[in-house]
Structure 1
Amino acid sequence: MTSRPAATPRPRFLRLTVVSLALMVGAGTAGFALATGAPFQGWGSGTWDPGQRLAKLQFMTKRALDAVGATSEQENRVHDVIASAAAALAKEGAPIADTRQRLVELLKAPTVDRSAVEALRAEMVRSIDARSRIVAGALVDAAGQLSAEQRTKLIERVTAAIEQRRAAGPWGRAWQMDGQRRDRLPSEGGSGPDRD
């Protein structure tokens, strides 16, 4: 009969070392991001300057127009419409975040000035109305640069993207618990819990 040596307890310091290193790497990454002044852009938040927003919008528009077969002349005209709308929106006034900060300051005061809050609300409504007019006008102007067939393709593409995003759930994840990606809804012929 052979005797087994007594099991040696696993050293706890190894586990503590791994956890400590993970925390240091995470803290270092967060510190670097804060030190560089880069805005947090995950989950749709963060602050982009108007140039970054325009560049992102132009990029997305180029992809959409390429997908529907727009000519380079059509693309240029649509990009001009977007640039002029972006300039008009920039002139429209303080961003919503600034207005929100003003509201917070009004509500933090020892006594809340009802008339000041009402004036700020009226200013916000006027600003939103003006911005929505600019965006609606730009949409109509951009749509006027495309043929009816291109507009139909574009609307179908946007609608499909919205439905795919909706199917992904509130966290934007199209991956299911079983590890399979659902690119389409089951009603559209995609795989679902009962179709694999």
Structure 2
Amino acid sequence: MTDHSIPDATGEGVAGPPDYPLAEVLELTEPGQYRALFEDSRRQIVSLLLDRAATTSELAEVLGRPKGTIGHHLKVLAEAGLVHVVRTKRVRALEAKYYGRTARVFLYHREHEAVGEEQHILGRASAEVGQAAPDGTVLSANVRYARIPLERAVEWKHRLDELVMEFAAEPASGPITYALVYGLYPTRRPALPESEEDR
């Protein structure tokens, strides 16, 4: 994510929105793709396009940005092969272009502009949680620690990636957009030594 992008993910994507055909997965291989995707406004654009195809005007209205700015971002994303025009529609004397993603999931690695992306994701999520209104909607956060081998941590990562993709594939309905974020990372948290009974 976040955009709905999963770093270093493997395996198959999931079906669901948007309202246009697209590939399941695109692996980012070019530095220009990283520069295009890892910018806040462009990340918001590709995230919105998971719901449905949209015009420059629609995106500008939702994001509260000028159409020219959104047009520039769409051009950068299109040149990187991350979005393209999926259909057009005649509106009065003009032809409206509807943009969509080129893939449901963008796979990336910790390189170029994606270095530190995990911290950015968790930071943005933390800010959003701080702005969430306590009006009876679902709001939850938790942290647990476990001393496990690397292989088990990798298994947990894949299970959590699958859960995020399942969440993202939920049909759009209801007035509220919820976020699901997770973090799995090594810590410097000290551990108690083995108890004398375990020796």
* TM-score, length basis structure 2: 0.21
Q: Given the two structures, how large is their TM-score scaled by the length of structure 1?
A: 0.21
Higher strand share: 2
For CA contacts below 8 A with separation 6 or more, give which structure has more relative contact order.
2
Give 1 or 2: higher helix fraction: 1
